[in-house]
Amino acid sequence: MSSFNAAAYHRLVIKVGSALLIDEHGALDTNWLHGLAEDVAQLRANNCEVLIVSSGAIAIGSRVLGINRRKARLPDLQASAAAGQVQLASAYREVFGTLDITTAQVLLTPSDTEDRRRFLNARGTLGRLLECGVVPVINENDTVATEEIRYGDNDRLAARVAQLVMADGLLLLSDIDGFYTADPLQHSDAKHIPEIRGISSEMLAMAGAARSDVGSGGMQTKIQAAQIATHAGCATIIASGKLTRPLQRLGEGARCSVFFAEGSPAAARKQWLAGSLKVAGSLRVDEGAVLALRKGSSLLPVGVRSVKGDFQRGDAVTITAPDGREIGRGLAEYGANEAQLIAGCHSDQIEERLGYRGRSVMLHRDELVLFDTYA
């Protein structure tokens, strides 16, 4: 029996490695992509939201530009990515379109997932796309990412995306069907490990380095991705996507390795908010807001009485009850100056006060935590 059960996931990030999409001549394999689209349609029919992180831009683009990837320097790779990304995105649009699935291209750099202000922007866009029933097709923005700041491989990017959107599943599809004690191509006695709880440094050492010609990630980047995702409450599955309809095959029992999540995505996010952030200011709220927050709502400007501190959008702020007690904290959707302008405002007054439309919440419900005694 397969340990991958698609029905267990509500929001799944699927990472597609270059080697699956691009054939030996550097051409995009539309048949394979069509099979993936059918798998995605099936997942969506079962109420699972899907995001795809797809590699392949550099592999396609280097063929188009006649660049030899083995000798390529960073500008060659960036030019290849620019030329290849157009084709990659249009292949997804065309193929998924045949099944009435709308796709959207999202290009990210590490700072979009790590800088909290940009993190809020990326999360907002991806969240809205999912609400619109779209499948985001994400890649690294290779054309602007320089050597020092690149992810370089999409395994870790996919894990960051999973963390960003609070996915409960991350499926890394590549040319290998799971985690082994050694590289199975070089060691016939390498043992496949189907289920993993907790990743040890020994496992990282076992993972070795990259070996695929077309993609850039090896087992090591997959394990690092699993580390990021499982800490964020997201299970990670390493599986082969070599055959068509990879998810269907997994459902039928194809071999894979599952790294179990540590808790849920919501619990991991709350723990991070509660524990590891430096607070830069505070929002004093009224009784109505305290009640709404307890019911799980976002904090609206109308419920904010006063604003203290000098904080920027994305900084952590304390939520203070009318009696002065600190009841929680969250990531500010507005910097202090703007927060002051709209404190106490109804949503329809925000535009007038700010001079632009703005956002409707002061703290988003996914980015705030109430301390246990108040939750």
Q: Interface with ligand GLU by CB under 6 A: which residues?
A: 18, 55-59, 81, 139-140, 142, 153-154, 215-217
CB nearer ligand GLU, residue 81 or residue 164: 81
Q: How far apart are CA 51 and CA 103, in angstroms?
A: 9
Please give the helix or strand (H or E) that residue 339 lies within, else none.
Answer: helix 336-342
CB nearer ligand GLU, residue 55 or residue 298: 55
**Least separation, in Å, of the C-beta of 152 and ligand GLU?**
7
Q: How far apart are CA 69 and CA 64, in angstroms?
A: 12
Q: How far apart are CA 178 and CA 209, in angstroms?
A: 15
**Least separation, in Å, of the C-beta of 370 and ligand GLU?**
39
CB nearer ligand GLU, residue 18 or residue 103: 18
CB nearer ligand GLU, residue 38 or residue 142: 142
CB nearer ligand GLU, residue 17 or residue 169: 17
Edge to edge, the sheet with strand 326-332 lists 304-309, 279-285, 316-320, 326-332, 363-370
Non-local CB neighbours of 54 within 8 Å, separated by 6+ positions: 15, 16, 21, 88, 92, 137, 138, 139, 154
**Least separation, in Å, of the C-beta of 217 and ligand GLU?**
5
**Least separation, in Å, of the C-beta of 81 and ligand GLU?**
6
Distances (CA, A) of 356 to 273, 343, 349, 350, 351: 29, 16, 11, 8, 5
**Least separation, in Å, of the C-beta of 107 and ligand GLU?**
9
> DSSP string covering 4-49, please?
--GGG-SEEEEEE-HHHHB-TTS-B-HHHHHHHHHHHHHHHHTT-E
CB nearer ligand GLU, residue 56 or residue 358: 56
User: What is the residue whose two structure tokens read 């267990």?
Assistant: 8
Contact call for residues 360 and 347 (beta carbons, < 8 A): yes
Q: How far apart are CA 53 and CA 168, in angstroms?
A: 15
**Least separation, in Å, of the C-beta of 78 and ligand GLU?**
11
**Least separation, in Å, of the C-beta of 168 and ligand GLU?**
23
CB nearer ligand GLU, residue 14 or residue 345: 14
Q: Amino acid identity of 108?
A: L
